[in-house]
Amino acid sequence: MNTISKILIVTLGSLHQIEGGEHEYNYQDSILSRLPADSQNLLLETRAKAFGWLKNDKTAIWQGLPISEHEYNKNLVRGRDFGGDDERAAYYPALRRFEGRFFLTLGLEGKRAMYLSQHHVLLIGGLYGLLTLMEPTQRYNCPVEINLKSFDIWTEDNTLTDILLDYIREHGIVRVFDFTATEPRRRLISWPSVHNELGGNVLHCFSTTAAGDDALIPFGQAMAKFLLTASTEKLLAIKPETEEGKIVFREIDRPRSGMPHEVELRAWGKRM
């Protein structure tokens, strides 16, 4: 990866993941190696909290079953990715591990473009918080929903936001593209804080044809065909309300009137 630009794209991982992995943990591929010491510690501590909840809470139900009993979580152990030392942990880079709709839409060429892009790309999720594309990850299922502890763990005291802001400062980021797709994932970050840090230079991306998880296919298409290969100058020149293919870029972290939106949107307005 040749991240020479000052553009950051924040997008998402996926539920569907390939099994297996290798036992070696490559710290240099982790976001931990790209954060200041305080944020490294905070990220590891919060990952450990998310790990403990995911493995031990028998009352957290997802799709009718305890999340801790999901097949993907059976072999999940506290390795170095969670501040532990369990050598049974099996890792693949996130870009190889994830195979949900977004990544399938990217395909091999899109994944290659993502890996080779000059821009920064971070993935967001309920267990790891923030990940690089090559982050060593175990196979897991940690959904992010507003009624689950995975959401509260990362939003308490704006933890994930503070880590993201430290990354932005550490790497001199000047513009962020929010490709988080769903409201619960988007709300893991306090976007007003990011807007304040960058003088409003944040663009939230929405599909003109679908919302939530159904927007993952047009998101993947936009990534592969435009965002990952466009120059820094071209991405900095994008104005709010610009449309590129099936994607609209907005200053506001809500789809505009007349666009597809999630059912939960009004409830979010009351919560936030």
- Tell me, letter by letter, the H, E, C secondary structure of 87-140: CCCCEEEHHHHECCHHHHHHHHHHHHHHHHCCCEEEEEECCCEEECCCCEECCC
Nearest to 31 by CA among 20, 15, 47: 47
pLDDT at 265: 42
Nearest to 29 by CA among 114, 108, 109, 137: 137
pLDDT at 165: 98
pLDDT at 252: 94
pLDDT at 16: 93
- How far apart are the C-alpha atoms of 234 and 238, rounded to whole Å? 7
Per-residue tokens: 251: 């200053």
Distant-in-sequence contacts of 181-184, Cβ < 8 A, 24+ apart: 181/11, 181/12, 181/102, 181/212, 181/213, 181/215, 181/216, 181/219, 182/12, 182/144, 182/212, 182/213, 182/262, 183/212, 183/262, 183/264, 183/265, 183/268, 184/144, 184/145, 184/146, 184/151, 184/264
Per-residue model confidence as pLDDT tens for the chain (272 residues) = 556 799 999 999 999 999 999 999 999 999 999 999 999 999 999 999 999 999 999 999 888 989 999 999 999 999 999 999 999 999 999 999 999 999 999 999 999 999 999 999 999 999 999 999 999 999 999 999 888 999 999 999 999 999 999 999 999 999 999 999 889 999 999 999 999 999 999 999 999 999 988 888 888 998 888 999 999 999 999 999 999 989 999 999 999 888 888 865 444 443 33
pLDDT at 1: 56
pTM of the model as a whole:
0.93
159 contacts: CB under 8 Å, gap ≥ 6: 42, 46, 129, 153
Domain layout of the chain by residue ranges = 7-271
